[in-house]
């Protein structure tokens, strides 16, 4: 009887041992497969780097604090220019003044140097101008079209519509590829509401040279200025002279009457008493 029980326990132990070996082999096989898959993925993506991103949406003028940041992983081969890899880069040691946001940053978007000010620098327009540039504000009441989607960082062409000295109304391209540095949109009706980024703007501010500012000021004083968005990947600015009037818009071709040649008449003057009389004569030349 004891021998039978011993053999039964031995068989059960061998069965359990075989099952354990089978499960271990499956686990090791799955682990190795996952390891190989991860190695292939790592070979494709390359090394990952920790960079700082924001943990909530930030708008123009918002202060950037340590509580707004978190670390995220990005591919080292696809890092945008101007990322911050350490807290000391974002907030240099010994500087207790905050940075401010220059362009809207979405949640989990990496913080870039071009989208924030230097520590302690205000988020004003002067910090967004290059050397030799001036800020000029274009006012318009366009409630439709592309104006609703204007954002800082976009580039626009500027058109002038007005009347010429001859009294004809024309539209002409006066400036190309001007960079927008600020957009003034109506304030929300309720103080608790966020500004509607797709509402029709009241004005926008562009960066321009002094000569361009003079042309824009003259255009705004003598007519109406309109803008059109330029593609972000368009490298060359338009150089052609573009002017459209009512006739060219409708395809009307004005015909100029040919001058009528009049016959030349030659005369001589002669006096008859107190009266001077003109007498026709043949023209010699």
User: Do residue 21 and residue 99 come from a single domain?
Assistant: no
Q: Are both 236 and 139 inside the same structural domain?
A: yes
- Distance, CA of 269 to CA of 232 (rounded, Å): 78
Here the CATH number for the domain that contains residue 86 is 3.90.1210.10
Q: What is the DSSP letter of 60?
A: T
Residue 181 within a domain: yes
Q: Does one domain contain both 138 and 228?
A: yes
Residue 255 domain flag = no
Global confidence as pTM: 0.53
Structure tokens at 80: 């945008």
For tokens 């350490």, what's the residue?
86
Same domain, 73 and 107: yes
Cα distance between residue 104 and residue 180, in whole Å: 14
What pLDDT does residue 232 have? 79
Range of the domain at 12: 1-45
Q: Which among 65, 127, 56, 70 has a CA at the least distance from the CA of 99?
A: 65
Mark whether 172 and 100 lie in a shared domain. Answer: no
* Residue 116: strand, helix, or coil: strand
Cα-to-chain-centroid distance, residue 207? 13
**pLDDT value at position 69?**
93
Beta strands in the chain (DSSP E): 48-54, 63-64, 69-75, 99-100, 134-139, 155-163, 169-184, 203-208, 224-230, 243-245, 266-272, 275-281
Is 137:201 a contact under the CB 8 Å cutoff?
no
Domain count, the chain: 3
Is residue 76 domain-resident?
A: yes
pLDDT tens for the chain, residues 1 to 285: 667 766 776 777 777 777 777 787 777 878 877 877 777 767 777 788 999 999 999 887 788 988 999 999 988 888 889 999 998 999 888 777 788 888 889 999 999 998 988 887 766 777 677 889 999 999 876 554 566 778 888 899 999 999 888 778 899 999 999 998 888 877 766 655 665 666 677 888 999 999 999 999 999 999 988 888 888 777 666 677 788 887 777 777 776 666 767 777 787 777 777 787 787 877 776
Are the beta carbons of 75 and 48 closer than 8 angstroms? yes
pLDDT at 237: 66
Q: Is residue 55 part of a domain?
A: yes
Which string of b and e fits 134-172 if b means at least 16 CB within 10 Å? Answer: bbbebebeeeeeebeebebebbbbbbbeeeeeeeeebbb
Whether 92 and 167 map to the same domain: the answer is no
- Co-location of 10 and 29 in the same domain: yes
In what helix (H) or strand (E) does residue 8 lie, and over which residues does it extend?
A: helix 2-45
Residue 260 lies in a domain: no
Contact 118, 181 (CB under 8 A): no
DSSP 8-class letter at 66: G
Query: Is the domain of 74 the same as that of 162?
Result: no
The pLDDT score that the predictor gives to residue 55 is 94
Angle at 78 between CA 75 and CA 79, to 5 degrees: 85
103 & 65 share domain: yes
- State whether 205 and 155 are in the same domain: yes
58 and 103 housed in the same domain: yes
Together in a domain, 205 and 233: yes
In a domain, 145, yes or no: yes
């Amino acid at each position: 009887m004891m021998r039978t029980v011993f053999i039964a326990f031995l068989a059960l132990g061998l069965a359990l041992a075989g099952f354990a070996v089978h499960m271990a082999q499956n686990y090791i096989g799955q682990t190795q497969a996952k390891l190989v898959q991860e190695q292939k993925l790592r070979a494709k993506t390359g090394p990952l780097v920790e960079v700082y991103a924001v943990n909530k949406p930030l708008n123009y003028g918002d202060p950037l604090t340590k509580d707004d940041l978190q670390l995220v992983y990005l591919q080292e081969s696809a890092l945008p220019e101007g990322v911050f890899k350490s807290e000391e880069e974002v907030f240099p040691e010994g500087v207790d003044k905050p940075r401010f946001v220059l362009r809207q940053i979405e949640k989990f978007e990496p913080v870039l140097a071009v989208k924030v000010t230097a520590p302690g620098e205000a988020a004003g327009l002067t910090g967004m101008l290059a050397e030799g540039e001036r800020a000029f504000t274009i006012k318009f009441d366009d409630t439709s079209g592309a104006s609703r989607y204007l954002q800082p960082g976009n580039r626009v062409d500027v058109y002038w519509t007005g009347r010429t000295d001859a009294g004809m109304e024309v539209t002409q391209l006066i400036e190309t590829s001007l960079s927008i540095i600020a957009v003034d949109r109506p304030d929300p009706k309720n103080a608790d509401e966020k500004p509607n980024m797709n509402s029709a703007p009241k004005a926008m501010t562009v960066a321009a040279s002094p000569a361009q500012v003079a042309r824009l000021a003259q255009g705004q004083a003598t007519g109406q200025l309109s803008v059109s968005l330029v593609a972000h990947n368009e490298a060359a600015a338009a150089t052609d002279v573009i002017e459209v009037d009512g006739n060219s818009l409708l395809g009307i071709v004005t015909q100029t009457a040919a001058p009528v040649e009049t016959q030349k008449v030659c005369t001589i003057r002669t006096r008859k008493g107190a009266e001077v009389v003109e007498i026709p004569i043949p023209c010699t030349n």
